[in-house]
Amino acid sequence: MFDSLAEKLQGTLQDVRQHGNLTEEDVDGAMREIRLALLEADVNFKVVRQFTAQVKERCLGAEVVGRLGAGQQVVKIVDEELTALMGGAASELSFSPRPPTVILMAGLQGSGKTTATAKLARLLREEGSSAVAVAACDVYRPAAVEQLVKVGGQAGAEVYNRGAPTPEHDPVEIAAWALERARADGKDVLIVDTSGRLHVDEELMAELVAIRDAVKPHQVLLVVDAMTGQDAVNVAESFAEAVQFDGVVMSKLDGDARGGAALSVKAVTGKPILFASTGEKLDQFERFHPDRIAQRILGMGDVMTLIEKAEREFDEDEARELERKLRRNEFGLDDFLDQLRTIRKMGPLTNVLGMIPGLAGHQLSNMKVDEREIDRIQAIILSMTVEERRRPELINGSRRLRIARGSGTTVQHVNRLVKQFGETRKVMRQIGRGRMPDIGALMRNR
């Protein structure tokens, strides 16, 4: 996410940090590099100009120039201005005091609107809206209804649809019918998935206005494809002029190495980003926190999102049992595999590592985490006996050969796993004793 932009900004700010104090020329040089990085990231040029002017004004106004620790102050100012650029505090959905709350989803064809509808339904159910329904109002795109029925069902939402689309089907009538059903069924939330077009046109806008007037939604969300950069911002601007929307859902943010859309859309349209899709799976969907995104871009990690992901995946009883094993030095390879599986549920490993302060940024810029390595580790561990998993020190040369053959790997793979587990066990012992492990040493020993 934003890899290209993050690398350039972190490199520029690293140079700034290395100065004991800064001259006005140093600030000008840094602003030129930041301006170039943002333009290459496809950020709107007006936004770039305003952003760099604001950062420079604050740097000079705060009398950063000529002071010790000036580099850190510049980083702090850039962080604060990036956060403000993307909206400041995270924005929340507005819920109606009288259910159902109606959410209208809009966007162009191919923006990921139908998938985002299902992902939002799943997130709302997780957060306590137990009765969520979605309305299939896309009667033009082939298989759109079937897709929503499938992903909506996987999200645990009831899908209101009129069956296979026919020329007689009117999306406005379907939306009104779905709302009546949601009221009758006592639903908490109704999410209306609408038709898209390949481009913004009058017909699309007229239909959206008609659906909006028919169901009177409490929120209108615009889904835009983050990977289209400035095109996404232009689309958002066009929708803002024709159909007043309340917030943006940024799809495919995980594939956006530049970040132009996410950094521009709030400044251009005045509408905040509420949610971001961070992967293909239904659970890879999260609330958009500008401060956390800014910290990720600047290599500061994202502790809060990491904690929230961990809380969703880690079972309380299992955590207590793990703590007991750590204190008694009983942490074995089965426990090691359980932890890897749980961490894997939190998302791609590179993303998870990037949320850890001290590991983000340059230390990970050249590290490629092979997700298949976990499959290999699992095969090796499952090829061991119960006693070997509990006491890896028993694994001698002949046992390693047997394990390698049983797992379809090599003795070198087994050796590497045993060594990595030994290092992990040392870290776990330190944590169990209430000490922080030496992250730097771990990185050097990779």
Give the DSSP letter string of 149-189.
HHHHHHTT-EEE--SS--TT--HHHHHHHHHHHHHHTT-SE
Rounded Cα gap, residues 19 and 337, in angstroms: 45
> Phi, psi (5° rounding) for residue 435?
-110, 150
Chain centroid offset of residue 441 CA:
29
Domain boundary residue among 51, 85, 119? 85
Instruction: Please give the tally of structural domains in the chain.
Output: 3
Rounded Cα gap, residues 110 and 374, in angstroms: 33
pTM (two decimals): 0.69
DSSP state of 99: S
Fill in the amino acid letter for 343. I
Rounded Cα gap, residues 249 and 108, in angstroms: 12
Give the model's pLDDT for residue 363: 42
Cα radius of gyration rounded to whole Å, the chain: 25
Domain boundary residue among 258, 289, 320? 289
Phi-psi domain of 185 (left: phi exceeds 0; alpha: psi -120 through 50; beta: other)? alpha
Q: What is the CATH number of the domain that holds 181?
A: 3.40.50.300
Q: Is 375 exposed, middle or buried (0-12, 13-18, 19+ CB in 10 A)?
A: exposed
Q: What tokens were used for 190?
A: 């109704």
Q: At what angle do helices 333-345 and 316-327 cross, to 10 degrees?
A: 140
Q: What are the average pLDDT values for consecutive 10-residue runs of the chain, which has 446 residues?
A: 77 76 82 90 90 89 63 83 88 88 91 93 89 91 89 93 72 94 94 86 86 93 88 86 87 79 88 89 88 80 55 64 71 81 67 54 47 84 92 91 94 90 73 48 44
Q: Which residues pair with 132 in a beta bridge?
A: 189
Rounded Cα gap, residues 148 and 117, in angstroms: 8
Whether residues 24 and 143 fall in one domain: no
CA end-to-end distance (rounded Å), the chain: 24
Q: Which domain covers residue 26, as residue numbers?
A: 3-85
Give the model's pLDDT for residue 154: 93
Question: Is 93 contained in some domain?
Answer: no
Rounded Cα gap, residues 428 and 261, in angstroms: 41
Give the model's pLDDT for residue 214: 93
Whether residues 161 and 280 fall in one domain: yes
Strands 158-160 and 132-136: parallel
Whether residues 206 and 142 fall in one domain: yes
Whether residues 226 and 185 fall in one domain: yes
Q: What tokens were used for 156?
A: 């645990």
Whether residues 263 and 115 fall in one domain: yes
